[in-house]
Structure 1
């Protein structure tokens, strides 16, 4: 099977989407022009388990321009843009993705990627990487039955032996991979692209901050001004969501945070901080951004006001207890695309956006192209770095010089010049003898 998409006839519309993304991703396009000349990825098979969006399309086109054979599968069942998937498949990218996949179809897609025996994996949430490790370590998991339906009789030893390394795009995935390393079970090197400054300082804060609210507004069309917004988690994503809530005119922005340093930062940034038990009683809109499980549980939901809106912008759909909500609700109905109304015992209603999945990609289009320009430039450079350097199994940060190169290119494409240090200043900073 070369590709499987929802509707190949959508390809022309997908090409227009890709054109628009390329117009707004100048850093990645500059890297593509170099890749076209140097072909640093010739002989490599890249399996990308990423959100299948127009921005991802620009990345995989760049990898293909560098000489790689590319396989693209989704990292979320609800985030695929079907027109983009169709366009990429038409161009020769091996795509197995469509919006609204079942769990079985989702893991079929991961099996499809594995069947190509990739030499490099690009991941967002670590599902592809974790699946390879489950196969290697003989873990019993129902999802592997679905993987086997498309991976067939994959030779796991051959698969792992051929892997030069992988990358990880998001905080949740990096947490999983560091746990894998700590357990002594990581079998190939991973570059934590998420830890690059030009990724998390901009993508997580400005990208997710804007696109989360884009998803909430498309799903509900509510006025944010005057509302009480509760943000669970004050990492870089939570910071961005809280900042944009304030900018949209929220009457109160409450942060729920378990880490005392982050909680203190939220206070100093001008936000209220309290436990979810208390925030549940006063919030109008709740957004989770922690990477943890059941941050909003049934006890919290029963305390909420009639009409409370719940959304998740963490990677996996575990932060809100959706299963518990399904179990106790006396009625459920879909009243708008991506918005479900649940009636609780006693008649109170709460509204869940996008089934508790990643709201910015399930109910909107994900991050703006301008910010993904930096994130995916890091991905492209990380793939090249893995080809040029043989690394031992570990979780690595992309070298700082590559991170700074992405920032330099971004400033250049924005027409912004920065200061340059003099030789005297460089010597001063490198000397221990100079002082007062």
Structure 2
């Protein structure tokens, strides 16, 4: 039994899904191929993903390929209720996703998805995977494999594998170059800035913008903030990433020092307590804090709420907390993914590559999953190359090919100085 807010919203959602689909040519081509070859007939797919127009187009590809599919949300604030309604009505996947639901309802939605008794698991944050391994072990026998799309989820999956508890093979989609080089950098970079602007309508030019974490997402956020005219400070715990930020021309310092300088703070670490109450107490009056990591643990939100002597909702997704020292900080989107919660997620153009990579990984698992050992496996390079080539074709870009002599040179050891 599906859980959507209102099926009457489906017409509006369908238009948005169609508009996004036009900008996803690689996934569209895969949808046509899957509709002809039907590689997923007999398979049941459970997905825990951001319920957005881009996700809807991947669902369309998988269902076109013959899959029975159930979908739940990977974040209660990223769900688009009209899109959920259209996926349920028009695409034929069973949907369990309602915007703004509480934690108990969120996990009821996860459990509802598992009623499909999946043979394939598509996850974003590993909530579905961990729930299966903790509470639904009877399903493990039928599951041939899974995929995990985000860096935080990949960390959890690797931890499960290292602990010896992961019971089926998983492809870490986030590790694919066709995902993290584009989705994380350009998608997160754009939608984080978009979310901050929608939530605050503040000017970035001339501000001091602190990026907490300089992985691929942090690189993207820093690049876009700098492009908007902000002075960017990076904080890091990894010396190599910190050095890269320095050589990229950015200022690098500890978060305790940056706390006193920033006008905007964005966490993109994939870890907890990147910004603590102590840091927030040192911030300027009116400093804006946002998170662009998958889970709402990067900012010490509960500690902030507990210490605050006043709270005001200034705008949608924009809450001011007054601290005992007389200064206030402004928290966006409850400390959840600001680009998903206050804006509209990643643009379709980058999700085209992510979901094409993911869809082809699912196809590979259907054919090969039973022969693979449980654990985390790199996505085959040929999948990445096929996706990148198709994307270049869509842009009308041609590249060179190696000659026979170049192939021989690359595979020989005898030619030297």
How far is 1:346 from its partner? 2.9
- 1:282-315, CA deviations, whole angstroms, 9 ceiling, x for partnerless residues? 0000000000101100110000000000000000
- 1:229-277, CA deviations, whole angstroms, 9 ceiling, x for partnerless residues? 0000000000000011100000x21000000000000000000100000
How many angstroms apart in 2 are the aligned matches of 1:123 and 1:169? 6
Aligned to 1:134: 134
> What secondary structure is seen at the aligned counterpart in 1 of 2:374?
coil
How many angstroms apart in 2 are the aligned matches of 1:412 and 1:229? 37
> What secondary structure is seen at the aligned counterpart in 1 of 2:273?
coil
How many angstroms apart in 1 are the aligned matches of 2:326 and 2:251? 30
- 1:103-129, CA deviations, whole angstroms, 9 ceiling, x for partnerless residues? 011000000011211010100010000
Question: What do you get for the CA RMSD once the two structures are aligned?
Answer: 0.7
> What secondary structure is seen at the aligned counterpart in 2 of 1:241?
helix
Aligned to 1:381: 360
Aligned to 1:245: 225
Aligned to 1:297: 276
Q: Which stretch of structure 1 is more off in the superposition, 4-13 or 302-311? A: 4-13
Q: Is the CA contact 2:150–2:174 (under 8 Å) kept in the aligned structure 1?
A: yes
Aligned length: 414
How far is 1:134 from its partner? 1.2
The equivalent position to 1:233 in structure 2, one of 213, 220, 237, is 213
Aligned to 1:414: 395
Unaligned runs of 5+ in 2: none
> What secondary structure is seen at the aligned counterpart in 1 of 2:199?
helix
The equivalent position to 1:186 in structure 2, one of 128, 142, 166, is 166
How many angstroms apart in 2 are the aligned matches of 1:229 and 1:214? 14
Is 1:34 aligned to 2:15, yes or no? no
How far is 1:424 from its partner? 1.1
Runs of 4+ in 1 over 3 A off after TM superposition: none
Tell me the TM-score normalized by structure 2.
Answer: 0.98
How far is 1:435 from its partner? 2.6
How many angstroms apart in 2 are the aligned matches of 1:113 and 1:90? 16
> What secondary structure is seen at the aligned counterpart in 1 of 2:229?
coil
Tell me the TM-score normalized by structure 1.
Answer: 0.94
Aligned to 1:327: 306
Aligned to 2:73: 74
How far is 1:135 from its partner? 1.7
How many angstroms apart in 1 are the aligned matches of 2:157 and 2:14? 34
How many angstroms apart in 2 are the aligned matches of 1:425 and 1:193? 31
> What secondary structure is seen at the aligned counterpart in 2 of 1:24?
coil
> What secondary structure is seen at the aligned counterpart in 1 of 2:171?
strand
Unaligned runs of 5+ in 1: 137-155
